[in-house]
């Protein structure tokens, strides 16, 4: 094993904070879209993202193994991963462009929007490149991904304001904003990985990755099959149902950012780490995930109205998705335990038969089991039970919640088989107690509909939670102190790679 120099809390806090800041920029970007396009067009926006996601299925296959090899000190992995992903990206984009007309026709989408589906092809190329470069940085300097996100978000908002608001380009302007911002982010990544990219290409590494690639593809395809429920919602529930779900998801997804506090756990486990790191990561994640879920649920009506008044009807959807995302967030930590402790590729040799017998394969099989249960249920509900777009979106959110709860339980059991760790039940109780205090305050005051007041109430809720937590949890005080110390490290420009 290589020497472990990744700082668990530092890296996690940097990536989490950058994503938390991106909430404001993300909401601003979504507001630019929702307030300048119709609800039907916003549904088209969601569908564009859903479809393009199927063509970036392979973007993480090679980076998955490259990250593991880099974390374990095998030279040449970075450059080999990037060049391979470039070739794959060209193939994926070409296939997408060839199928656009068929896709638009099959989904009965107006040809007016065909140009939007064409423009997004550039983004497919970028995401493959970005995935390869992030694989390098996550293995060595995970905090830099947080810095890159901030650069991306600033560019996105500035370009969005210019192209969507000033030039009134609508969805086309939104796509251009993302594409240009991704290009800037990639340039930043290339600068950071110059040293690693100077190494020689190792065909021996690529040979091993390609042998094991089917396992990762198997996992990715499983995840996309689960996500096919959104395509069903668009087809049978209509653009408005997809818009309701998209609006609620854009808010609930913020809760999942708390999983980034465990971002550095993966490379730490790969390079050799203890079960205590898992417990620390769980406490960090839950310390923020629980109050964020509570806040989204309590102020759900205000947040949805903030996007657009018509989305206030989607409150039941948001309430269900908030809990669902909380389950999914915790599941991500357990996923990390399983993938981080797997040693089948530890010696830079990967035996496919051994992979199939590993817990990694078991973890990758779960989405298929989930799909077998949920997709038929969703199809029946959307075609026979749901009578309105809102009902369609609500039923889908309910099925998603129940399936995510089941998967959480299963993933926890698998993770416990990989590494014995202590779940912080005592800390979870304290976080829940402090969240209850916050909810009480927010429930007794009239909920705002204006953006500025909603933001103010959100900050008030955060202040109440942190104050209550400080009074009952010593670890919260310790964390606050460590955050201040880390801030001083940054200000003094000290080495951020020092071991904890």
pLDDT at 381 over 60: yes
pLDDT at 321 over 70: yes
Tokens of 222: 């499983």
CA 114 from chain center: how many Å?
Answer: 27
Mean pLDDT of 356-371: 93
Q: Where are the domains positioned within the chain?
A: 8-491
pLDDT digits (tens, 9 = 90+) for 300-316: 999 998 888 888 999 99
Contact in structure between 48 and 252 (CB atoms under 8 Å): no
Provide the pLDDT for residue 435. 96
Q: Which residue has the higher pLDDT, 135 or 227?
A: 135
The C-alpha angle 294, 299, 301, rounded to 5 degrees, equals: 135
* Ranges 65-79, 387-401, 444-458: which has the least confidence: 444-458
Provide the pLDDT for residue 1. 47
DSSP one-letter code for 137: H
Burial zone of 97 (CB within 10 Å; 0-12 exposed, 13-18 middle, 19+ buried) = middle
Alpha helices, H only, 35-169: 39-54, 61-71, 77-106, 114-119, 121-140, 143-160
pLDDT at 493 over 50: no
Q: Which residue has the higher pLDDT, 235 or 178?
A: 178
- The C-alpha atoms of residue 233 and residue 237 are separated, in whole angstroms, by 5
b/e 194-230 (16+ beta carbons within 10 angstroms → b): eebbeeebbeebbebbeebbebbebbbbbbbbbeebb
pLDDT at 497 over 60: no
Report the chain's terminal Cα–Cα distance, integer Å.
17
Q: pLDDT grade, residue 499 (50/70/90)? A: very low
Provide the pLDDT for residue 498. 45
Tokens of 223: 């995840």
pLDDT digits (tens, 9 = 90+) for 238-250: 889 988 998 999 8
pLDDT at 188 over 50: yes
Q: Percent of the chain beyond pLDDT 70?
A: 94
Contact in structure between 297 and 322 (CB atoms under 8 Å): yes
pLDDT digits (tens, 9 = 90+) for 442-465: 999 888 888 888 889 999 999 999
- The C-alpha atoms of residue 472 and residue 475 are separated, in whole angstroms, by 9
pLDDT at 486 over 80: no
pLDDT digits (tens, 9 = 90+) for 410-421: 999 999 999 889
Provide the pLDDT for residue 488. 66
* Ranges 16-20, 148-152, 249-253, 286-290: which has the least confidence: 16-20
pLDDT at 222 over 80: yes
Provide the pLDDT for residue 487. 59
What is the model's pTM?
A: 0.81
- Token match 């380009």: residue? 169
154: left (phi over 0), alpha (psi -120 to 50) or beta: alpha
* Ranges 84-93, 163-172, 271-280, 401-410: which has the least confidence: 271-280
Contact in structure between 109 and 50 (CB atoms under 8 Å): no
Q: Which residue has the higher pLDDT, 261 or 161?
A: 161
pLDDT digits (tens, 9 = 90+) for 84-137: 999 999 999 999 999 999 999 998 888 889 999 999 999 999 999 999 999 999
Provide the pLDDT for residue 500. 43
């Amino acid at each position: 094993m290589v020497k472990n120099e990744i700082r668990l809390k530092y890296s996690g806090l940097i990536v989490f904070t950058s994503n938390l800041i991106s909430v404001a920029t993300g909401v601003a970007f979504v507001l630019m879209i929702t307030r300048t396009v119709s609800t039907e067009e916003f549904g088209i926006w969601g569908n564009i993202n859903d479809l393009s996601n199927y063509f970036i299925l392979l973007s993480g296959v090679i980076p998955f193994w490259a990250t593991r090899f880099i974390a374990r000190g095998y030279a040449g992995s970075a450059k080999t991963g990037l060049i391979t992903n470039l070739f794959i990206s060209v193939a994926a984009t070409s296939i997408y462009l060839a199928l656009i007309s068929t896709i638009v026709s099959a989904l009965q989408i107006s040809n007016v929007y065909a140009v939007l589906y064409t423009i997004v092809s550039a983004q497919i190329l970028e995401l493959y490149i970005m995935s390869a470069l992030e694989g390098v940085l996550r293995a060595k300097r995970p905090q830099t991904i947080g810095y890159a996100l901030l650069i991306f978000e600033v560019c996105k908002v500035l370009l969005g304001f210019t192209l969507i608001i000033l030039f009134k380009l609508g969805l086309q302007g939104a796509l251009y904003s993302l594409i240009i911002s991704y290009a800037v982010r990639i340039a930043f990544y290339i600068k950071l990985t110059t040293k690693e990219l100077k190494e020689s290409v190792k065909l021996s590494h690529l040979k091993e990755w390609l042998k094991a690639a089917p396992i990762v593809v198997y996992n990715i395809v499983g995840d996309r099959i689960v996500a096919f429920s959104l395509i069903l919602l668009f087809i049978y529930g209509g653009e408005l149902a997809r818009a309701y779900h998209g609006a609620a998801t854009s808010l609930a997804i913020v809760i999942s950012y708390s999983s980034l506090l465990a971002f550095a756990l993966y490379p730490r486990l790969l390079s050799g780490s203890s079960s205590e790191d898992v417990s620390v990561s769980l406490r960090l994640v839950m310390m923020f995930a629980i109050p964020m879920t509570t806040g989204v649920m309590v102020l759900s009506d205000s947040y949805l109205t903030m996007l657009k008044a018509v989305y206030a009807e989607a409150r039941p959807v948001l309430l269900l998705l908030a809990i669902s995302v909380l389950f999914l967030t915790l599941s991500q930590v357990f996923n990390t335990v399983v993938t981080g402790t797997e040693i089948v590729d530890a010696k830079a040799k990967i035996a496919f038969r051994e992979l199939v017998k590993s817990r990694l394969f078991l973890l990758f099989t779960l989405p298929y089991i989930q799909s077998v249960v949920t997709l038929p249920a969703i199809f029946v509900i959307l075609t026979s039970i749901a009578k309105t777009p809102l009902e369609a979106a609500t039923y889908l959110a309910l099925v998603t919640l129940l399936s995510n709860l089941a998967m959480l339980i299963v993933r926890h059991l698998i993770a416990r088989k990989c590494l014995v760790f202590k779940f912080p039940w005592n800390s979870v109780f304290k976080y829940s107690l402090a969240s209850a205090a916050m909810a009480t305050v927010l429930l007794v005051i009239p909920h705002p509909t204006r953006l500025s007041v909603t933001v103010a109430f959100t900050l008030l809720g955060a202040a109440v939670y942190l104050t209550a937590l400080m009074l009952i949890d010593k670890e919260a005080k310790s964390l606050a102190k460590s955050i201040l110390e880390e801030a001083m490290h940054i200000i003094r420009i000290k080495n951020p790679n020092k071991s904890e």
